Structure 1
């Protein structure tokens, strides 16, 4: 006689119940995120008198976007933001790659101590260093420049840690094979480690771009003129108490500033999710 497994309906019901709770919780969290966005879209595409009155027959208009664009030099704000993000991202890729490669493959005196200092940096909020960073920018004569906004972020402890963990997974036999082919240390890094860690670079790049696109406090402190302000600081002009708060125009301006990130995510959401899954970022 052969033993047969008896069904366990109680466990199946319990599993189904908790699965339903998880699904409902996800829908509720999704609603909490999407409802404010939908409300902002409603206000941006409708006249001001329909801000609190939901009428499906309300006329659509682009006047709020026109007024928002004319109320501030958005072209300059977009240019400053793109330049800032490009400078920061390129610098982070170069510096973090070199530092992570050194920590992963080289042995030198004080290596453990230096890496511990990098990890400690992860526990320090950027706001804690804001006063000292401002004093440094004053001494360097960089206040009210794009370089002042980007210089404190050109090296990232998180980026160094993430790339180091990725480089440690690369087999050392590939180093030997590359040396046989005549590659030097820099050639091994560029031809072996960087290509194999491409998903990590994509994941980290997305996190960095999103953070610095939305960063407000440090650019607000270090910039004084319109010619150097990024988008986040430029939005402050719509909250002026002299002009009053016009929510329809503010919503239109907020949608314009967030549109590049939203469009980028919609176009590359599959690569976005896959890069994080391969990188192991929770």
Structure 2
């Protein structure tokens, strides 16, 4: 029979390690919770800072003109600024031009990048890797560098001050080709072989297999493309000269620089809200689809 005095020592040795492990787990859990709260607070702070200019623009757009130049706080709201701005400049024409340019560019980009991405991913031809490297080089070149050369080409073609002239340099997207090619390469080649056994052509395989399985990539690219061309300013400003072909961003700049509205912050903010409202409303309506498309469109391998 063992010494009874050793029993507490044995129990202490037996349960000391679990107690230490529990304390370590609680400490790590508390530390992670504190870090999570800290990072959430930092993110919320940045969000508040980002929202301050937007809140000021929205508030000023609905304030009466006499309240925008005062120092006090006013609770009065009016829609007169939006009505005045819409009637003072042809924003309806600018809106239709922007919608036509964004949708036209997107449709052509989806077709061209689908064909090019499938060729780079599944079709074997001489110089494929070198040609794809040229596409990657185009991603590294800022679009503003090509403004002069694109302007000269459009001038020789007689497409200046036309909607087609605004769209033409963006009909092919190297970024879209790269993004879609990576998605196509992730799909197993057995799908092609099974479809070819059934007698399907390449176009049939592309439209019935590759395109539906890469839907998140198409949605993500569509969001990026529409946002970029909706907010594009420099290229439409250089190419267009008439109100019939101006886009919203150019129309907003011309309206803000006008002598009769330069000091009217309520009119400028109302015009800014008109330009930015469609994108914000679209994001709020399709927020879940937008976030899901970006989460499901990660590039692998």
Note whether the superposition's TM-score is higher than 0.5: yes
- Mapped partners of 1:253, 1:157: distance in 2: 33
Q: 1:66 to 1:108 in 2, by over 3 A?
A: same
Displacement of 1:32: 1.6
* TM-score of the two chains, using structure 1 as the length reference: 0.95
Shift of 1:10: 4.1
Instruction: State the partner residue of 1:270.
Output: 288
> CA 1:180–1:54 in structure 2 vs 1: closer, same or farther (change >3 Å)?
farther
- Map 1:52-71 onto structure 2 (within 5 A): 53=71, 55-56=73-74, 58-71=75-88
**TM-aligned CA deviation for residue 237 of structure 1:** 2.4
Q: 1:248 aligns with which of 266, 287, 295?
A: 266
**Deviation larger for 224-233 or 40-49:** 40-49
Structure 2 counterpart of 1:75: 92
| 1:127 alignment counterpart | 144
1:72/1:237 contact within 8 Å kept: no
Structure 1 position 54, deviation (Å): 5.2
TM (norm. structure 2) is: 0.89
Structure 1 residues without counterparts, runs of 5 or longer: none
Distance in 1, Cα, partners of 2:183 & 2:153: 33
Q: Summarize deviations over 1:44-86 as a string: whole Å, max 9, x none.
A: 1111232264535x32111100110011111111111111011
Q: Is the 8 A contact 1:238 1:246 kept in 2?
A: no
Deviant stretches of 4+, over 6 Å:
none
> What corresponds to 1:28 in structure 2?
45
The secondary structure found in structure 2 opposite 1:7 is: helix
1-side partners of 2:146 and 2:45: how far apart?
37
> What root-mean-square deviation, in Å, do the aligned CA atoms of Structure 1 and Structure 2 show?
1.6
**Distance in 2, Cα, partners of 1:144 & 1:233:** 13
Aligned match of 1:259? 277
Larger mean Cα displacement after TM superposition, 169-178 or 133-142: 169-178
Match 2:217 to one of 195, 200, 204: 200
Q: Structure 1 residues 182, 53: CA separation in 2 closer, same or farther (over 3 Å shift)?
A: farther
- Following the alignment from structure 2 to structure 1, what is the Cα–Cα distance between the partners of residues 86 and 182? 44
1:180 is displaced (CA, Å) by 2.3
The aligned runs of 1:15-54 (5 Å cut-off) are 15-51=32-68, 53=71
| Conserved? CA contact 1:238–1:245, under 8 Å | no
Paired with 1:236 and 1:194, the residues of 2 have a C-alpha distance of: 39
Q: Secondary structure at the match of 2:23?
A: coil
Structure 1 range deviating more: 270-279 or 7-16: 7-16
- Determine the C-alpha separation between the residues in 2 that align with 1:158 and 1:172: 24
Matched, 1:279 2:284: no
